[in-house]
């Protein structure tokens, strides 16, 4: 569901209210801060998830590692978690990708194998301090800038999948996705499996022109840090 603000009309669409347990994409004409008016919600919210993708909130102002936040008895049913510009995938060896923590003020797509109900593990209403955080440095130049889109996908790339004609990938190099000549995602290699974004076109956001639509096939490039 969605709502759009029109001058002279106000809000139109089927999305009529903001719910505490849900997540939302906000498409902005300019950068700004959102202050939500209302009372604090409960930290022990029960989230009822359907099989597949669910857009939900994180009800704590702090941060908690993904594995610690999801109860052990249902963690195996979680396939992936997607945030704004980052994702994590649940593998036999644990969670991989650039998204390492749930953080207050953000929404997340959680992908589960079957329907379930759960509550986050939150310690006494105070989120645990994030233990790990993925921090990347982007290459300089306007040609490496891109726009966040609400339409996004991620390709998880392991070192065994990267074959170069000369040399090998090194920490600090960048993996990039392209739709033709348009950069749609960039991620810095830091030695382990990483999620390379592939942003899609949103007809409500002119800044996403040239990004992927259904049926497009991405190409990938590697930029050496040296």
pLDDT in tens, 153-200: 999 999 999 999 989 999 999 999 999 999 999 999 999 999 999 999
Per-residue model confidence (pLDDT) at position 43: 77
The model's pLDDT over 5-53, given as tens digits with 9 standing for 90+, comes to 999 999 999 999 989 899 999 998 889 998 888 777 777 899 999 999 9
Per-residue pLDDT averaged across 88-115, rounded? Answer: 96
Per-residue model confidence (pLDDT) at position 141: 86
Residue 127, pLDDT above cutoff 60: no
The model's pLDDT over 85-97, given as tens digits with 9 standing for 90+, comes to 999 999 999 999 9
> Which has the closest alpha carbon to 151: 202, 109, 80, 83?
202
Residue 133, pLDDT above cutoff 90: no
Per-residue model confidence (pLDDT) at position 122: 86
Residue 124, pLDDT above cutoff 70: no
> Which has the closest alpha carbon to 123: 41, 63, 49?
63
Q: What average pLDDT does the chain have?
A: 92
* Whole-structure pTM value: 0.90
């Amino acid at each position: 569901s969605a709502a759009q603000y029109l001058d002279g009309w106000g809000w139109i669409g089927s999305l009529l209210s903001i719910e505490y347990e849900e997540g939302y994409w906000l498409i902005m004409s300019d950068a700004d801060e959102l202050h939500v008016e209302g009372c604090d919600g409960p930290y022990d919210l029960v989230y009822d998830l359907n099989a597949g993708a669910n857009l939900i909130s994180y009800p704590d102002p702090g941060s908690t590692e993904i594995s610690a936040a999801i109860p052990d008895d249902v963690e195996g049913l979680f396939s992936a978690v997607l945030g704004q510009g980052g994702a994590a995938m649940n593998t036999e060896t644990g969670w991989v990708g650039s998204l390492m923590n749930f953080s207050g003020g953000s929404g997340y797509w959680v992908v589960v194998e079957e329907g379930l109900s759960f509550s986050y593990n939150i310690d006494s209403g105070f989120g645990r301090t994030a233990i790990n955080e993925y921090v990347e440095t982007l290459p300089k130049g306007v040609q490496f800038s891109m726009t966040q889109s609400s339409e996004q996908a991620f390709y998880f790339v392991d070192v065994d999948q990267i074959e170069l004609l000369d040399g090998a990938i090194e920490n600090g190099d960048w993996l990039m996705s392209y739709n033709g000549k348009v950069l749609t995602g960039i991620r810095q290699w830091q030695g382990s499996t990483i999620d390379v974004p592939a942003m899609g076109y949103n007809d409500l956001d002119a800044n996403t022109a040239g990004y992927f639509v259904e049926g497009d096939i991405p190409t990938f490039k590697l930029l050496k840090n040296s």
